[in-house]
Structure formats: structure tokens, C-alpha cells
Amino acid sequence: MKKTTLQAGAAALAAAAMLLAGCGSSDSSDTASTGAPAATQAADNGVAALTADEILAKAKEALKKAGSYHVKGSATQDGTEMAMDFRVSGVNFAGTLSMGQGDVELLLVDGKQYMRPSEGFYTMLGMGETAKTVTAALGTKWLEVSATDKSMSSIFGIVNIDEMLSSTGTAAKGEPAQLDGRPVITLTDSDDATSKLFVATTGEPYPLRMGEATGDGITFTEFGDTFADIKAPAADQVLDMAALTGKK
């Protein structure tokens, strides 16, 4: 399955880093839980009898039907650790994407995109003491990213359900297994032998984990929860990225 979700996000993060440089002055051992009461977990949901593509479709449908969820995890590429931690509600989300020593808070609310880089983000660019200056200038304010800026907007697609739960090769059904004590069916991808999708076979057919059973991967939890932190920042806490960078 698409473990490259983190890799694509990190690539977008790197692109964002290069753009913002011109402005001037995880824990992968997490195990999944369903957020559902034990009584609803007892009944077999029938997905194990379906084809791989049908199971994948059911997992996407269940996640969209839940309306909200928490996705968290990490992966290592070329010696660099990448991590993501997002709470998602419908098309809105809030959370952090990290790469090495740099991280960026991302916020998407009602079609408006915001990002807040850390000092480590600028340090990662080799900006030295300038990193402190830039971070101090921005303070706790958010940078608003225009939806028309396609290169920058790509980073906000990191939690797109259809993108996350897709195979780059041919999806195949694996063996039934247990994940954190819950029965699951595994799906594999012909383009990535180490990455799997673990789909619950009791209760709702939620995707519980994507990646390796342990180690690199992301977990899905808190299905249907309400996340109060997903809200637009106050107007006086927002700076226009286009004005800062000169990029329209």
C-alpha cells in the first residue's frame, strides 16, 4: 500500500522549505485502536471474503463514513526520519509534518490553507542564526497558502483518503492476522513488498494500519471523534505567504 504518503509529504515539505527560505528577515510503535465499543467489534463484517480491490473500497468507504479520524506514524528514507500526526474532520485537518530536524504545522479549514514552520525547519536549510531571526519575526502566526499555488498546495493533500488508500501496483489479499488483538485482513501491493494495509474484519472495516506490522507505517485511530483544534486562526494571527515571498 501507499507508504509513499509520507515520502510525498516530505518532498512537498522540502519544496516548501526552499520557497520559504526566500522570505527574508513519532512514534512508529503505536498500535491501532478502533475508537468503537467492544460490543460492535464482535461481529464479522464479511470483508475477508471480498477481493483485494473490494476490501480497499470498503476501507475507504468506512473511513469517509466515520467523518473524522487521527492518523499518525513515521518512516525512514535515506537515513532521514519523516513523521506525520494529523487529526482529520471531513476535508479539514490540523497537525504536523516532520522531516529530520524540521517540522511544519499544517491547518486546513473550509478550503483555506495555513502553515507554521518551526525554527528547526529553517535550521534544516542551513540558515544558522538567521533561523532564529525568521522564526522570531513570524512568532506564533500562521502563513496562509493560496489554493492557486499548486506547488505549495500539494503538501495539503497528505491526508487525502483516496490517495492514502491506493496501491501503486496490483493489490492482493494476504492472510488474516491480528493487530493489537483485533482480527484484520492484510492487503499487499505488488510495487512494495514490505508495505501492507491492515483492515478490520470485525465492526466497521476501518483501515487500522498502513505500512509494516511494526516499524515504519501509520496508524488510524479515534474514528468519528470531534477535534476542537481544527478551527481557523484569528485574522490577526495570519500572514499572507504570497506577500512574503512575492509568489502569486
115 vs 126, residue with greater confidence: 115
Among 9-13, 70-74, 134-138, 153-157, name the most confident range: 70-74
Fold assignment, 4-245: outer membrane lipoprotein receptor (LolB), chain A (2.50.20)
Determine the pLDDT at residue 96.
92
Mean pLDDT along residues 7-30: 44
Q: pTM, whole model, 2 decimals?
A: 0.80
User: Is the per-residue pLDDT at 12 higher than 80?
Assistant: no
Q: What is the pLDDT of residues 24-53, one digit of tens each?
A: 333 333 333 334 444 344 589 999 999 999
Between the alpha carbon of residue 97 and those of residues 62, 75, 93, the distances in Å are: 25, 12, 12
- Contact status, residue 82 vs residue 9, Cβ threshold 8 Å: yes
Give the DSSP letter string of 92-142.
Answer: EEEEEEEETTEEEEEEEETTEEEEEE-HHHHHHTT-TTHHHHHHHHHTTPE
H or E stretch at 213: none
Determine the pLDDT at residue 203.
95
Domain ranges for the chain: 4-245
3-class SS of residue 144: strand
